Amino acid sequence: MTEDAISSNASAAATGRKRARAGASDYTAASIQVLEGLEAVRRRPGMYIGSTDVRGLHHLVWEVVDNSIDEAMAGQATVIQVTITADGKVTVEDNGRGVPVGKHSTGKDALEVVHTVLHAGGKFGGGGYKVSGGLHGVGVSVVNALSSWMRVESARDGHVWAQEYVRGKPTTPVQKVGPQGDRRGTRTSFQADTEMFETTDYSFELISERLRESAYLTKGVWITYIDERVDRERSFYFEGGLQSFVRHLNRNKEVLQARPIYVERREGGTAVEVALQYNDSYTENVLAFANNINTVDGGTHVTGFRAALTSSLNDWARRAAVLKDSDGNLSGDDVREGLTAVISVKLTDPQFEGQTKAKLGNAEVKGQVQTAVSDSLGQYLDENPADGRRIIEKCLTAARAREAARKARDLVLRKGALEGMSLPGKLADCQERDPARSEIYLVEGDSAGGSAKAGRDRRFQAILPMFGKMLNVEKARLDKVLSSEKIRPLIIALGGGIGEGFDLAKIRYHRIILMSDADVDGAHIRTLLLTFFYRHMPAVIEAGYLYIAQPPLYRISTGKVTRYAQTEQERDRIIKEFNVKNLSVQRFKGLGEMNATQLWETTMNPETRTLLRVDSENASAADEIFTMLMGEKVAPRKDFIKTEARKVRNLDI
């Protein structure tokens, strides 16, 4: 090494040491930030409400509604009203006890503390509520922090008290605004902050379904929902509670027993309520709640229920000699085929996994639910042996079909393995082998498939043409699904298997894109594919891997400049922007009418395309619509078409 090089290296090392010392000296006690008040929520909203997309937006509504539901569960409120005004303000009002007012130990008024301090509320010491939902006492203050404006009114102690806030900070003191009169309870109004959320457009249907759930889970509470934006109103009141809920979920299905089996018991400090009813479908629909919070990922209450169901049915089937000594036990999957159930537990100190409460973690609840369900189910079967036999016969049929499906699935997977995963003949695979960078288009028809293959970027885009209408899996068991010539190539191409052995980690593409014509047949094919994924590969949807392509309906060209439009409104706007009388406007009836270049430019180029991601956040509503559109019963589908037909303006047939 030369002397100049040694000198240069020494100089560089010295410079590095100086920078290191400077970097160390920059990180001092003064670098430690303490976020005052609700500023932490505004800085990291995802930590408190999960996201700032449409899901997080609706979480604000749930938090305020849950406070009113808590009053109803405590036996203090009987009426709840939710209103969305034309300008997007949300108001939730109940006739409960009202938020406490008066000087708090912090020196502030109690109403202000509840709405401006995290982890402040009446849900910790047990004096205010025996059971409650809400976000561990941070719910309403989080809503306040993420709202550009909030006003709270509390009618109690002879007066109506009120306070207003802007982005979580009080703009007025807590003050009397009038006598209480006949009024009681809390009225909370807020406007979601457009600085914090990607959208502030609430869904009428999503809120309706959530409020319907709340009314089922809290017997005797009247909930009204008014949406002034669309001039619609709905009211919910159910004396039957969970039994009414199960009947509602099964209303488009043929049931095996006339009335749901109902379990209600208090085990220690936990109230257990379960309703279940079998139908003739091939899918399981179990909804679980803890303190009225939908625990979409289940938890100990679901584990206890499943254990009780499997053991109780097997025990009774042996006693009733429906299962012979030589027969094996029914599996958990066998006894859950065609099952609709709602599980609700209410407990004093719920332990949830995750801030947004997707899973219940209380260990003692498993045994409490298992005991309650085992005792009640065993008694019901003894008293209703005819129902018991129908249920066991259904389970035995499921067991036989499951064995046939296992053999068919093994054949499909073995075939794929023996072919070295050369995959279906019509699949044009991509060069990329990293699933996270790979995508597959499931394309309707041969001609569109040809254009897509020619126009794609073969480095990361695979194409699998789908021919004609595939099997309606809503009406078929897995063994029939696996024998379908239209579905088997798709299963092999995706690589993750199907059913019990499905493995999301083995999926070969992290973007699975459905691309069909913008007409009635295309919509039908898309619905069939969505049904397939929802019923047999739900993990693909949950992982966010499933998308719907948005091909344009119109091509507008001046000869030199070409634009595309997905709607008539967009077409008219583009025509107005061009402002010439020699325009060429082409209406695409199908994907096959586009050449490879057009298909790439409009629908496949990641820089310019629009994709809709499919999710199934509202499982009960999704299950209901799939059953209605694709199930055996014709009458509900006919009623749906009659009701919705009046909304159609331009029917493309």
297 an active-site residue?
no
Of 364, 521, 542, 632, the active-site residue reads 521
Closest CA to 536 of 489, 497, 567: 497
Q: What are the residue ranges of helices labelled H in 589-649? A: 596-599, 619-630, 634-645
479 an active-site residue?
no
d(CA 185, CA 72): 11
d(CA 588, CA 575): 17
Burial of 179 (0-12, 13-18, 19+ CB in 10 A): exposed
For residues 401-438, b (16+ Cβ closer than 10 Å) or e, as one string? Answer: bbebbbebbeebbeebeeeeeebbebbbbbebeebeeb
Dihedral sign from CA coordinates of 432, 435, 439, 443 = positive
Of 387, 517, 623, 624, the active-site residue reads 517
d(CA 532, CA 549): 17
Q: What angle do CA 192, 197, 201 make, to 5 degrees?
A: 65
Sequence-ordered list of residues with C-beta below 8 angstroms from that of 623, at least 6 positions apart, any chain:
249, 283, 285
d(CA 499, CA 487): 13
Of 71, 112, 337, 444, the active-site residue reads 444
With residue 490 as reference, give the H or E element that holds it: helix 488-494
Of 164, 264, 375, 519, the active-site residue reads 519
CB contact at 8 A, 85 and 95: no
639 an active-site residue?
no
Q: What are 222-227's contacts with CB under 8 Å, separation 24+?
A: 222/78, 222/79, 222/80, 223/79, 223/80, 223/81, 223/82, 224/79, 224/80, 224/81, 224/82, 225/81, 225/82, 225/83, 226/81, 226/82, 226/83, 226/84, 227/83, 227/84, 227/202
CB contact at 8 A, 223 and 95: no
572 an active-site residue?
no
d(CA 35, CA 531): 47
Q: What are the residues facing 94 on neighbouring strands?
A: 80
Q: Which two tokens stand for residue 598?
A: 């057009």
Q: Which residues are catalytic?
A: 444, 517, 519, 521
